[in-house]
Chain A
Amino acid sequence: MVKGLGFRALPRCARDLSMTDNDDFEEQPPEKLPLDSWHRGHGARMVPFAGYEMPIQYEGIKAEHDWTRNHASLFDVSHMGQLAVSGENAAHELEKLLPASIANLPEGQMRYSLLLTEAGGIIDDLIVTNTGAHLALVVNGACKWDDIAHLREHLDDDVTLTHFDDFALLALQGPEAAAVLEGIVPGVGELSFMRAGLFKWNGHHLWVSRAGYTGEDGFEISIHQGHAAALADALVADDRVKLAGLGARDSLRLEAGLPLYGHDLTLDTDPVSAGLSFALAKSRRATGGYFGHAPSMARLEDGGVAQKRVGLALEGRLPAREGAKVYSGDALVGTVTSGGFSPTLGHPVAMAFVETEHAESGTELHLEVRDKRLPARVVPLPFVPHRYHRKGAL
C-alpha cells in the first residue's frame, strides 16, 4: 500500500487550533480561486490549502522549481489576504499592532512586518505598503480571517479596514520576470526590490510590487478577478514563462531561508528567536507603543532567547521533514520546522529551532528520521543566495 499520496498538512493559523476543540466547528469545504478553471485547463493538480483549492503542481515540482531559478514562473497566490487600512490616523493606528515604522513609510515603499501578541508571539507575518491612497497589507491566506478580526478589534473606529476579496494576486518570479513583465507593462522594470506602484494593462489597473517569496527577482501583481485570466494568458504566452504551483513555491522559499507561517512561525515563536529582529524597527525600540514591545526588547538582550531558527544542511539524499527532532550527542536540542530536498543544491536542507548554544554556524548536530540519526551542520541562511533587484544594484 502506498500511503500519503497527498500534500503534507496544511499550514494553519495558530489561532485556528483552538477551533478544533469545539465540537460544533465543522471544516468548511474549500473555496475556489478566481482562476480555478483556468488552472485546471492548464493541467494543474489541485489540493486544499488555506481554505482554497490550490494548484500544487502542473508539470512537476522539480521542473517548476528549476524553471523559476532559471527563467520565470507564474504562481497564483490569490488565497492571500489583500487588505487595506485607511483614514487620517491609519499609520499611527497600525503602529500599535506592528513593530515597524509605518508613519515614515514613503509612498510606493513596502516593508515586511509582523502582527504580535502582547507576549510578543507571532500572529502572522505580512507585507505593508504605502500605496498613497492607503496602507495595504498582504497577509497569509490561512490567517487572513483571524488577522481581520485582530485588526478590527484593535484599530480605532475612525480607521477603515477594507478586504479586497475580489482581487486576484499573481506572482511572476525568476531572473527573466522583469524582462517579461516590462514587455507587457512598460515601466515596471524601474521598480526596485520592495517598491510598488500602480500601472495599467489593457485599460485595467494593476498594483505591481517588486517582491515575492522565492528568493528570486520578481513581481506580485494585484488585479481585479475579472481580468486575471486574461493577464495570466498574456504572461504564459511568453515562452520564458511557465506555471508553477504551491509545491515549487514551498521548495523555493525553503532554499531562500524564508519562514512560513504555521510551520516556522507560530504564536509560540517570537521575532528574535525566529531571526526576524530586523522587523523590530530600530526607531521604535526605545519608544515602543506596540503589542509585544517589552518582551521583544528583553529577548534582544544577550541570552534573551532560549532557541533560534537556524539552517541545517544534510548529507546524502534522505530529507528531514517538519517535526524531526534535533540532537547534539544524546541531548534533544531542537525540532525541524521546515525541511525537504533542495533541488538547486542536490541535498536535503531544513530549518529548525535549536537551543541557542547549538545555533552557531558550523555546529554539528543530528536529525532523527524514522530510526536513523542523520548528520546535519548548522549553516547560514539563505541556503541559496537571494537575487533581488535591489536599488543601486545593476
Chain B
Amino acid sequence: MPRYFTEEHEWIDVEGDSATIGITDYAQEQLGDIVFVETPQAGTELAKGAEAAVVESVKAASDVYSPISGTVTEGNSALDDDPELVNSSPEEEGWFFRLTVSDASELESLMNEAAYKAFCDGL
C-alpha cells in the first residue's frame, strides 16, 4: 500500500480508490499535546485544499486541509475521546479521516517517504 506525504506534514495511505489521511510524527511533535480533534462527517465532499479537520493543541488551534479531492467516508471517532492518539500514534491509530479519491492524478505531485524525510531534514 503506497504512502504519500505532503509538504504540509500529512500522510495519505491509498488502497484502491480509498485514502486514509493523518498528520505526520513531525507535525504532532511541532503541535505538542493535542487536546481535541474535529474530523469531517461522512459524506462531506472535499476539494483539494478544502478545510477538512481542526486540531487543537494545548497552545493553539490548527486547521488541516484536505491534500486531495474526495468524499469523506469516515472520521476517526476514536479521536473524540482520545485525541492524544495523534501524539502517541500519529501515523497509525491517530489517523484523521478516510475518503474516496475522486482524482487519482492529484497523488502524482505528492512525496514518497524518502522524499518527505529529506524534506523534513531540510527544515
Contacts and interface: CB of A to CB of B under 8 A. Distances in A.
B72 interface: no
Most chain-A Cβ atoms within 10 A of its Cβ — which of B35, B58, B61?
B58
Contacts of A317: 35-36, 56, 83
Contacts of B6: 1
A60 B27 CA distance: 14
Interface string B51-68: 000111111111111010
A57 B8 CA distance: 22
Given A2-B23, A5-B31, A341 B38 contact: no
B9 A61 contact: no
A145 interface: no
A288 B55 CA distance: 50
Interface in A34-89: 56-57, 60-63, 65
Contact size class for A?
Answer: 20 to 34
Contacts of B35: 317, 319, 341, 348
Contacts of A247: 32, 58-59
B81 to A, nearest CB: 9
Interface string A322-352: 0000000000000000001101000010000
A229 B60 CA distance: 31
A8 B60 CA distance: 6
A58 B116 CA distance: 25
Contact of A319 (B10, B27, B56, B65): B56
B33 interface: yes
Contacts of A56: 59
B30 interface: yes
Nearest to A65: B58
Contact of B58 (A2, A6, A61, A370): A61
Interface in B40-80: 49, 54-65, 67
Contact size class for B?
Answer: 20 to 34
B58 A62 contact: yes
A154 to B, nearest CB: 37
Contacts of A61: 32-33, 57-59
B58 A1 contact: no
A1 B64 contact: yes
Given A60-B32, A317-B35, A319-B36, A7 B59 contact: yes
Given A65-B58, A341-B58, 16 more contacts: A1-B6, A1-B63, A2-B27, A2-B64, A3-B63, A3-B65, A4-B60, A6-B60, A8-B60, A61-B32, A61-B59, A247-B32, A317-B35, A317-B56, A341-B56, A343-B58
Interface of A: 1-8, 56-57, 60-63, 65, 247, 250-251, 316-319, 321, 340-341, 343, 348, 370
7 contacts: A6-B60, A57-B32, A247-B32, A247-B59, A321-B61, A341-B36, A370-B38
6 smallest beta-carbon distances between A and B, as pairs = A1-B8, A62-B33, A4-B62, A341-B35, A1-B65, A317-B36
